[in-house]
Structure 1
């Protein structure tokens, strides 16, 4: 039956928590709070309605994702109220979703024609009203373009722009679209706790709700929490979209989770390693690239599910992190550069895939394919894959503002290298910068949009043909 208010004065039935669920159908009752719900639509088939997705949380603060098929929405929709407590029984227990997941639970719940859902209006319930899955930049990078887990993100607003941000939009007004694309959007840069800056896109009703709250705020917030974001890779940057959940973004004026990134010289960076306790922290450094260390090669073959280097077994390649076999790996950048600053400090920086694309202007498979044309002797493949391509050698002499990330490993390593997590500025005039001290410590307002003209244009135009990638990976596997 449809949801109806009920009292707790009735003799309670035996209730289960979400962790107690087992089998394929539950006759027993569960008590939970509805965190929020949203429409699931098929955008490839005329934006047709598939059903309602819901997120529940029980008294043990365990969340589970639920689903109401489109043909049953009318039966329950009017009774669904976020933050309300319900009891429910007679529902299907299904394996968790593989795509667009908002809960880590191994099971999901599906409503049937027999499902009983009743709102509980009396009594005290020690059920949390929310549970966040806040993740770091690296967590988002590992799941980019997979449409799998939809994690939450918190950060400091560094840039914000969008349609009608100076005027409120009624939530009752349906956003207009042209050629299947919404004109209603909000775009921002968000600085995360680990020092990484990501681009955030809000669309349609979510953008309208955000804009209404933003315009209504007398004091504009500086900290933003967004839930269920979908990570994408656009133009050389990881870009979370908030497209599925219609839960309002949470505003805040300050947060201890956001810290200013300090600018150090290379010598100060080495001193920090020597004198401080092991920790995870990011710094910024202005340095000139003086050499590309070709002896450490320029690429590696990574897992298709994460960025870990694959290990070769007898008949396949495997990932030591996610433990999944890989028939074909992904070629990614990994090369080392020697840098120097104006104080004659020296250091070795490690460049990985995202920053490698920034410098080379092309993805690693495309560079490999151009260095090893189809039809050449496969026996030469391994030698060519180790030879540093000219597009990487050409970066010598460029002065950049790097952001480097230190981990506990840096404090115990015998050979000291620093991983570059972001290139803030490229091809800058180091002498001009040194004459303006305030600019040396200024935090970037934009996320790596000052790439060199040629490199940026190439990155924006990245579109590798699938057959080219497959042939390249096949040759790599042959020699891996």
Structure 2
């Protein structure tokens, strides 16, 4: 326990310093950032391997004989700051190692979090869920190389950001953050603030001013967000509220998230299947045939696939509507959708009760947002897959379970349905018998 220091000499070399807790009383009243001191009788030790803020291999340890004298009147040409600004690739190389705490600079692209408009953390304090911190903000920063990275600010640094953000008449464009710790969240590299993090806006420093100048000169040629930036939001576990906040604040785009939620109702009024082309696009009907608007082809035979909507609720009691598609529908029901149309009139086919077996369970959903979600009047979220949860694959008719396999012959390990060699490979168009094949919708010319 103690106080970590970053010291800069007249040649702009940096070295890490450390004052043990039992010696703090000697120096804490005189310590002030950006002041110049003369140090005598200190110990030089190897720099520690964790949480480094300097590239120097050695560090300075304050001992009982160490003296520190402030030099007020002397004119010393010593830099007040020295940054170690790094790129996304540099952060990815040391993610989750807790070694170096580098600095980052970029253009603010998205800001969201607790009490963003409140001047202090004490005003309408957010509700704490579990062990989560009481105060946080998260940002997207676009860097010069076109990479975008997500940053989490916690507690005091979040409050400082909020105070600066709300006190500026013109909203800042550029942000520089020091000593951030790279962490993997939801499969993506993110940056988290530390207790030593400081923040600087537009004109605070020559570095931020230079970045603003570059933005002004190259605004027409700003780098596009590269594929790695999409991974910032892809595969991250978020709440329903955070998904809606993302839609409200971001530009229309394609993005994916993980979300834990509990189905509360299957919305029968929106149906449970559709007739598709082999490309999975819903077929349109003409007087004599079925037509695929994607392939631009006429189809006499369509494929029955699951598509049904469920109402879900997350741990914060926020609600949303998810759309489940064929792959997950087969895992839930244990049958292809055609099976349940075998003895039913197509237009009056009742929703199979087995699809309602997921009600009350908690599952991990992979949600895919498209540009449609940013303009939709009735918001629904497409489920790419259901990853966790105990899915009952047995129908209510008591018929023996059938393992549904993918085109490669393996079951989806995310759901955990057992694989078997007693069943042949089943593609999207596999039917259980020739009789069921005849039940697929057919229009003769």
Relative to the length of structure 2, the TM-score reads 0.48
Larger Rg: 2
Instruction: Give the alignment's TM-score, normalised by structure 1.
Output: 0.44
Greater relative CO (CA pairs within 8 A, separation 6+): 1
